[in-house]
Amino acid sequence: MKKIPVHFRPHQPVKYSYQKLTICKSCQTFTALGNQQCPACGKSSLVPVEQHAASTAKRSMHTSLLIAVFIGLVAIFLSHTLLQMVLCGAAGLSLVTLLWFVQRQVMAQETNRALLALLQQDQERLGQDMYRDWETAFSNWDSDKQLTYELLRELSALLRNDTIRLQQVALLHYFVLRKDMDLVLEPLLITNYDPLLADYIGELTKIKRDLIKDSTFQYVLNYELEILGLENGQDILAGVAGAAVRMKRYVLSYSGLVRRYAHKLPKDRFLRLYRIVQQNPHEMGERLTSEVHRIYQEKYQWDPDFQEPSTRGSLI
Amino acid sequence: MLAYGCLGILFLYAAVRAGFYWFRRNSAPTQQDIDNSLLTILNGESER
Ligand SMILES: [Zn+2]
């Protein structure tokens, strides 16, 4: 299969999943695909749900404020003397200002309340709208794989299931992956074993090893036998072991994995492991230490790089 | 007299509304609550 060179459009990660969600002001349809037009009515009236909730909260507050202003005006209208008018005007203005001030203080909380109500009022529809988005994204699979991936990436902030994760992994398999790409790994880890995911992990060990963290090490350990069954399984596992030698903590936590694939590590990764073991001789455990020494004796005993003391930091 | 009556009503109205906002601000959902709620609506309890 010939891989496709791609340049992903910039992706905005969000802290809260609802920040990906927009709603049509006209027909109340939800969407998360970042489109300009409403997928249901076609109008350009999509706004972020937070903005919609803020408008709802503001509208309700304005109504309260208008009622207060109205009562104040009635008081002025019913005044008999100028003094009464001035008194009613001043008192009314103070009370309206006080109410406005309190409203301003609680604006964020009232917006949150309105947002939760908006999301909860029609849950079935919200679910249907998100699954319609998913279908829309998927419908581009044959014609535009990059677009499909980008849309699924947006949706995966909201839809958290293994199917959408696997679809993204499967799409990534079609692309030429590069160091400068905005790639992720942990959000794509699934519960079960999948060879495409194992392969993706293997690719990342070559170009973005900093993405390999605890949950990936755990995944690889859980499915080590299955990965070994792959044609390039040993290389994938060696790549993961090579990623573990980034940090002393990883070497300590996954010493078994590192030990089993230490003989397959390229020179720079093995050198790093060798130095970690040398600097922490009592912490690394006997089996790992002896395996590292065995490989050193076998392959690198006369290598000048192994003779110089390390001048590098603890994280590579 | 009617004007002062209205002013009294305005005072009560503003006090009740302001008190209403002020006391329920503590029970308002946080952004994290909204996020959790949305993810539960879309994915059920198991997937977060
Ligand atoms: Zn619409």
Q: Assign 3-class secondary structure to A266-280.
A: CHHHHHHHHHHHHHC
Mean pLDDT over A263-287 rounds to 90
* Alpha-carbon span A82 to A88, nearest angstrom: 10
Q: What is the pLDDT of residues A59-82, one digit of tens each?
A: 999 999 999 999 999 999 999 899
Note the pLDDT of residue A312: 46
Give yes or no for a contact between A190 and A197, defined as CB atoms under 8 angstroms apart.
yes
Is the CB of A160 less than 8 angstroms away from the CB of B29?
A: no
Is the CB of B34 less than 8 angstroms away from the CB of A102?
A: no
Domain containing B17 equals 2-46
Give yes or no for a contact between A75 and B6, defined as CB atoms under 8 angstroms apart.
yes
Which residues of chain B make contact with A130, given a CB cutoff of 8 A? Answer: 42
Q: What whole-number percentage of chain A has pLDDT above 90? A: 86
Is the CB of B13 less than 8 angstroms away from the CB of A112?
A: no
Q: State whether residue A21 sits within 8 Å of chain B by CB.
A: yes
Which residues of chain B make contact with A80, given a CB cutoff of 8 A? Answer: 3
Same domain? A108 vs A191: no
Mean pLDDT over B3-13 rounds to 91
Give yes or no for a contact between B33 and A114, defined as CB atoms under 8 angstroms apart.
no
Same domain? A221 vs A115: no
Please, is A39 exposed, middle or buried when counting C-beta atoms within 10 Å of its C-beta (0-12, 13-18, 19+)?
Answer: middle
Q: Which of B13, B34, B48 sits opposite A18 (nearest CB)?
A: B34
Mean pLDDT over B28-41 rounds to 96
Q: What is the least distance, in Å, from the CA of A142 to any CA of chain B?
A: 27
DSSP SS3 for B45: coil
Location of structure tokens 């699954």: A131
List the one residue out of A316, A275, A39, A230 whose CA is nearest residue A151: A39
The overall longest dimension of chain B from CA atoms, in Å, is 64
Same domain? A106 vs A195: no
Residue A280, CA distances (Å) to A241, A273, A296 in order: 18, 11, 16
Note the pLDDT of residue A284: 85
- The pair phi, psi for residue B33, each rounded to 5°, is -60, -45
Statement: residue A313 has pLDDT above 80: no
Which residues of chain A make contact with B29, given a CB cutoff of 8 A? Answer: 112-113, 115-116
Note the pLDDT of residue A22: 96
Q: Which residues 6+ apart lie within 8 Å of A1 measured at CB?
A: A174
Is the CB of B34 less than 8 angstroms away from the CB of A84?
A: no
DSSP SS3 for A142: coil
Same domain? A193 vs A300: yes
Q: Indicate the average pLDDT of chain A.
A: 93
Say what the ipTM of the complex is.
Answer: 0.92
Domain containing A289 equals 183-306
Note the pLDDT of residue A304: 87
- In this predicted structure, which of A35-49, A157-171, A202-216, A273-287 has the lowest mean pLDDT? A273-287
Q: Is residue A114 part of a domain?
A: yes
Cβ under 8 Å to B: A residues 24-83: 64, 67-68, 71-72, 74-76, 78-80
Give residue A315's pLDDT band: very low, low, confident or very high (50, 70, 90).
very low
Q: State whether residue A192 sits within 8 Å of chain B by CB.
A: no
The amino acid at residue A289 is T
Note the pLDDT of residue A309: 63
Q: Is residue A201 part of a domain?
A: yes
Q: Which of A84, A95, A126 sits opposite B41 (nearest CB)?
A: A126
To test the contact with chain A by mutation, choose from B2, B9, B16, B21 the residue with the greatest count of A C-beta atoms within 10 A, namely B21
Q: What is the least distance, in Å, from the CA of A54 to any CA of chain B?
A: 13
Note the pLDDT of residue A310: 53
Give residue A157's pLDDT band: very low, low, confident or very high (50, 70, 90).
very high
List the one residue out of A122, A45, A160 whose CA is nearest residue B48: A160
Q: What is the least distance, in Å, from the CA of B4 to any CA of chain A?
A: 7
Tally of domains in chain B: 1
Mean pLDDT over B18-42 rounds to 94
Give yes or no for a contact between A43 and A24, defined as CB atoms under 8 angstroms apart.
yes
Give residue A302's pLDDT band: very low, low, confident or very high (50, 70, 90).
confident
Note the pLDDT of residue A1: 77
Q: Is residue A142 part of a domain?
A: no
Note the pLDDT of residue A314: 41
Tally of domains in chain A: 2
Is the CB of B13 less than 8 angstroms away from the CB of A67?
A: yes
Location of structure tokens 């509304």: B17
CB atoms within 10 A of CB A36: 7
Q: Is residue A14 part of a domain?
A: no
Note the pLDDT of residue B45: 75
Q: Is residue A118 part of a domain?
A: yes
Note the pLDDT of residue A53: 97
Residues forming beta bridges with residue A47, ordered by sequence position: A23
Q: What is the pLDDT of residues A208-264, one digit of tens each?
A: 999 999 999 999 999 999 999 999 999 999 999 999 999 999 999 999 999 999 999
Q: What is the pLDDT of residues A174-194, one digit of tens each?
A: 999 999 999 999 999 999 999
Q: Is residue A313 part of a domain?
A: no
Q: Is residue A170 part of a domain?
A: no
Cβ under 8 Å to A: B residues 8-47: 9-11, 13-14, 17-18, 21-22, 24-25, 28-35, 37-39, 41-43, 47
* Alpha-carbon span A275 to A314, nearest angstrom: 10
Joined together, the tokens standing for residue A243 give 């990623």
Nearest chain A residue (CA) to B14: A99
